[in-house]
Amino acid sequence: MSTTSDQSGERFLPLSEPCLQGNEWQYVKECLDSGWISSVGAFVNRFEQRVAEYVGVKHAVATVNGTSALHVALLAAGVEPGDEVLVSTLTFIATANAIRYAGAHPVLIDSEPRWWQMDPQLVRDFLRRECRAENGELRNRVTGRRVRAIMPVHVLGHPVDLPAITAEAEAFGLRLIEDAAESLGASLNWRKIGATSDLACVSFNGNKTITCGGGGMLLTNSQSDAERARYLTTQAKDDAVEYIHNEVGYNYRMTNVLAAIGLAQLEQLDGFVQRRREIAAYYREHLSGCGLTWHTDAPGAVSTSWLSTALVDPLQCGVTACELRDELQRAKIQTRRLWQPMHLSPAHREAGAVLNGTADRLFERALSFPSTPNLTDADLRRVVAATEGVLRSRKRRAA
Ligand SMILES: Cc1ncc(COP(=O)(O)O)c(C=O)c1O
């Protein structure tokens, strides 16, 4: 595994990896003993029910991964081929890809500079200036396409300004689908992320706040959206006995074995989030004033601090984000830049975009540091010492 020590005895410090120290083995054994290892079983039901209770929604539908949850959420929300969906340009590519799987077109919205989330002002400007109402629908004036939904991403597990974005969605009759892949465990104004919009999707990928190895879940308070999602994720099966399918569906349901792991992980979620937040606070306390500016929480927001991320000022630090990453890699410390924004991605460059330069700046300067909950205090001291060492030597060289 990536955390094993080499001959020098120094452990590789990963960015974010699974911590499997709870009831995972016990629940997987129970699952295997039961013989129910496929996509139906008690663990799937229990996992769905517990995540729904934790977030505070009525329905949950477990899927094979977060991307499939996003795809099906769009379909359940009524997004059709040719529609447009507003989405954060600063995201992992799966969010924009899911819109394309639905045959729809992403409209890429930049981040606000303070918390790095979808900028509500840009959403407002686009909907008010670039769109017009026609026969009870909203259409993009330039493309003529129907605008159907907004899909904000809680980047790095920090809440989007949901009240502002929800107000826009409601004013224009748009469906609101949250990409909460990185934010299971976050809250805004005392409500858990995922509880307040039409649909929300989480991911249980290996690097997320909790993991099943791979998995996802769609959350909603709407019974009809939940039923539609359940139907579409089980091959659109219209008859429990006969092979009758009135539509093209998907084989997207999570297996019982993975749900067993997920259930054990969920029991540890609050502890994991607390530790990720402690790690973020540690870096902020010990690595500030040296040209690194750390991401913090907005008022009323409790982030999962999924990744601890700083902006690297090359003038003050004497290094760019990429150079710092490469130096720390030599010290067996993994750091990562943020994703290439979707408006720069060859896969989505054709999409419409409403930009203010923030995502470009974040792409150039942001660097995420090791954030795995099982990092020890000694590991964190090592990260701080190594980073200070790089910055000191670069400054000496520059002097
Ligand atoms: C913001 C975001 N959206 C979607 C996904 C896709 O989730 P999955 O890998 O479970 O398909 C991820 C992470 O993988 C993500 O970080």
Please identify every stretch of the chain with a pLDDT value under 70, giving residue numbers as ranges.
Answer: 1-8, 398-399
Tell which atom from ligand 1 comes closest to the C-alpha of 204. Answer: 10
- Using the mean position of ligand 1's atoms as its centre, give its distance from the Cα of residue 39 in Å: 21
| Tokens, residue 253 | 């349901």
For the chain, what are the domain ranges? 24-266, 269-398
- CA separation (Å) from 209 to 39, 93, 215, 262, 263? 23, 19, 12, 11, 13
Tell me which residue of 307, 296, 308, 319 sits closest to 387, measured CA to CA: 319
309 lines ligand 1 (CB under 6 A): no
Tell me the CATH number for domain 24-266. Answer: 3.40.640.10
CATH number (3.20.20.10, 3.40.250.10, 3.90.1150.10, 3.40.50.450) of 269-398 reads: 3.90.1150.10
Let me know if the fold of 24-266 is the same as that of 269-398: no
Tell me which residue of 325, 355, 321 sits closest to 341, measured CA to CA: 355
Residue 332, pLDDT score: 98
Tell which atom from ligand 1 comes closest to the C-alpha of 203. Answer: 10
177 lines ligand 1 (CB under 6 A): no
Measured CA to CA, the distance from residue 371 to residue 19 in angstroms comes to 12
209 lines ligand 1 (CB under 6 A): no
Assess contact for 110 and 362: CB atoms under 8 A. no
Assess contact for 197 and 159: CB atoms under 8 A. no
Question: What does residue 128 show for φ and ψ, rounded to 5 degrees?
Answer: -85, -40
Residue 94, pLDDT score: 98
196 lines ligand 1 (CB under 6 A): no
Tell which atom from ligand 1 comes closest to the C-alpha of 215. Answer: 10
By most ligand atoms within 8 Å of CB, the mutation choice from 17, 203, 252 for ligand 1 is: 203
66 lines ligand 1 (CB under 6 A): yes
Measured CA to CA, the distance from residue 137 to residue 125 in angstroms comes to 18
Residue 289, pLDDT score: 85
Query: Bridge partners of 51?
Result: none
157 lines ligand 1 (CB under 6 A): no
269-286 and 377-398 helices, crossing angle to 10°: 30
- Using the mean position of ligand 1's atoms as its centre, give its distance from the Cα of residue 167 in Å: 26
Tell which atom from ligand 1 comes closest to the C-alpha of 205. Answer: 10
Assess contact for 324 and 312: CB atoms under 8 A. yes
Assess contact for 83 and 198: CB atoms under 8 A. no
